[in-house]
């Protein structure tokens, strides 16, 4: 069966290349392994969309039994695997492949989650790093948090498309960029569908969870931005973004291994936006009511001061006009 699949992969690659009028790839005298790898590489140069189909077929074939061929095909592959749910819609051939294998695509839409060990921290702005604090970042107060899991990256356009079968992003056509132009309510709709697909309880982070994670949790080094005092090393913001979002995970991660908490897109939190209280709090979820929802971390079009771990912003829950507004996910426990 394995070898049939290999042959099919190569045949498929050659068939696709015949549409691309690629003539420079030679298979003579080479093993099937080498041939398929070369075909793959050639395709990736000439037609990234078609190579996805080959890659997916091979990946599915060796899901249970990783082999040299699969390793070769995927060597140098730095792109996240495409989400089969969305591609079922996009490509009839892939749809056939998926339905034949009765693939459950859930694993490919789920975000990579990082364990954030609970602990205590002081929430709110300190002038220790020389930053100007804004009024809504005070009073500083002590917060105790339980363990939780936070997504390593902002939710990407590929993940959004896989779940929602749409892409609201202004900077669309970039699967690995964060989804943006989503309202707080849109994010809730995504989470509802994701939870239905996965039978898990994903949710937005609370502001306290967001700030604790941005500060590096138990591993915090007290940086001004998430992962550094030098903003350029950790964040896409107005001065370095070139006026657009960027694929997630390209800047340096923070102390917990979480990316882009400062910059790229603003991130919705679950809380109503309101004033802080000076009381010690345990797992706070913000005010009971309000008119706006909290946003954190700054974005590609914002000032450096917006990317501070203590900075807060807010917007109406239906507002999706921000092409710098996205989100990331939290799980209370690994499920």
Tell me which residues in 4-63 interact with Ca ion (CB under 5 A): none
- CB 125, min distance to Ca ion, A: 9
Q: Answer for the pair 168, 157: CB distance below 8 angstroms, yes or no.
A: no
Is 311 among the residues that bind Ca ion (CB under 5 A)?
A: yes
Instruction: Write the binding mask 120 to 149 for Ca ion: x where contact by CB under 5 A, - elsewhere.
Output: --------------x---------------
Q: Report cis status (omega within 30 of 0) of the bond before 139.
A: yes
- Would you say 104 or 291 has its CB closer to Ca ion? 291
How is residue 239 written in tokens? 């001065």
DSSP annotation of 142: E
CA distance 182 to 169: 8
Instruction: Write the binding mask 179 to 208 for Ca ion: x where contact by CB under 5 A, - elsewhere.
Output: ------------------------------
- CB 209, min distance to Ca ion, A: 14
- Would you say 161 or 251 has its CB closer to Ca ion? 251
Out of 206, 264, 301, 314, point to the residue binding Ca ion (CB under 5 A). Answer: 264
Segment interacting with Ca ion, rule: CB under 5 A, options 12-20, 46-54, 85-93, 304-312: 304-312
H/E segment holding residue 197: helix 184-198
- Point out the residue whose Cβ comes nearest to Ca ion: 297
- Would you say 32 or 138 has its CB closer to Ca ion? 138
The site for Ca ion, by CB under 5 A, has a size of: 6
Out of 227, 247, 286, 297, point to the residue binding Ca ion (CB under 5 A). Answer: 297
How is residue 113 written in tokens? 């989650």
- CB 313, min distance to Ca ion, A: 5
How is residue 100 written in tokens? 């034949």
* Rg, the chain, Cα only: 22
Instruction: Pick the closest to residue 43 from 31, 58, 65 (CA basis).
Output: 58
- Would you say 6 or 253 has its CB closer to Ca ion? 253
- CB 138, min distance to Ca ion, A: 12
H/E segment holding residue 13: helix 2-20
* Residues pairing with 281 in the sheet: 143
Distances (CA, A) of 308 to 56, 186, 219: 40, 25, 17
How is residue 321 written in tokens? 């006009």
Query: What angle is formed at CA 94 by the lines to CA 88 and CA 95, rounded to 5 degrees?
Result: 45
- CB 297, min distance to Ca ion, A: 4
- CB 278, min distance to Ca ion, A: 19
Give me the residues that bind Ca ion (CB under 5 A), please. 134, 260, 264, 297, 311-312
């Amino acid at each position: 069966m394995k070898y049939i699949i290999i042959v099919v992969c190569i045949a498929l690659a050659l068939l696709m290349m015949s549409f691309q009028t690629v003539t420079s790839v030679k298979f003579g005298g080479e093993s099937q392994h080498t041939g398929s790898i070369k075909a793959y590489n050639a395709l990736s140069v000439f037609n990234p969309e078609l190579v996805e189909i080959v890659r997916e077929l091979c990946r599915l074939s060796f899901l249970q039994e990783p082999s040299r061929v699969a390793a070769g095909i995927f060597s140098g592959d730095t792109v996240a695997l495409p989400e089969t749910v969305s591609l079922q819609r996009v490509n009839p051939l892939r749809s056939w492949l998926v339905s034949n294998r009765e693939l459950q695509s859930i694993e490919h839409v789920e975000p990579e989650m990082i364990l954030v060990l609970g602990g205590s921290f002081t929430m709110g702005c300190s002038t220790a790093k020389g930053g100007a604090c804004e009024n809504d970042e005070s009073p500083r107060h002590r917060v105790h948090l339980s363990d939780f899991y936070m997504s390593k990256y902002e939710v990407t356009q590929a993940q959004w498309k896989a779940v929602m079968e749409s892409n609201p992003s202004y900077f669309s056509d970039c699967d690995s960029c964060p989804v943006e132009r989503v309202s707080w309510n849109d994010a809730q709709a995504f989470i509802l569908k994701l939870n239905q697909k996965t039978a898990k309880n994903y949710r937005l982070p609370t502001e306290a969870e967001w700030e604790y994670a941005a500060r590096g949790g138990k591993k915090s080094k007290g940086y001004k931005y998430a992962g550094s005092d030098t903003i350029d090393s950790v964040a896409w913001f107005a001065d370095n973004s070139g006026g657009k979002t960027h694929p997630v995970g390209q800047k340096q991660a923070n102390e917990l291994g979480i990316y882009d908490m400062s910059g790229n897109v603003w991130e919705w939190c679950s809380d109503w936006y309101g004033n802080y209280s000076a009381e010690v709090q345990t797992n706070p979820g913000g005010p009971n009511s309000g008119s706006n929802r909290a946003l954190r971390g700054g974005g590609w079009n914002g000032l450096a001061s917006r990317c501070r771990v203590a900075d807060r912003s807010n917007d109406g829950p239906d507002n999706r006009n921000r092409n710098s507004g996205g989100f990331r996910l939290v799980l209370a426990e690994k499920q």
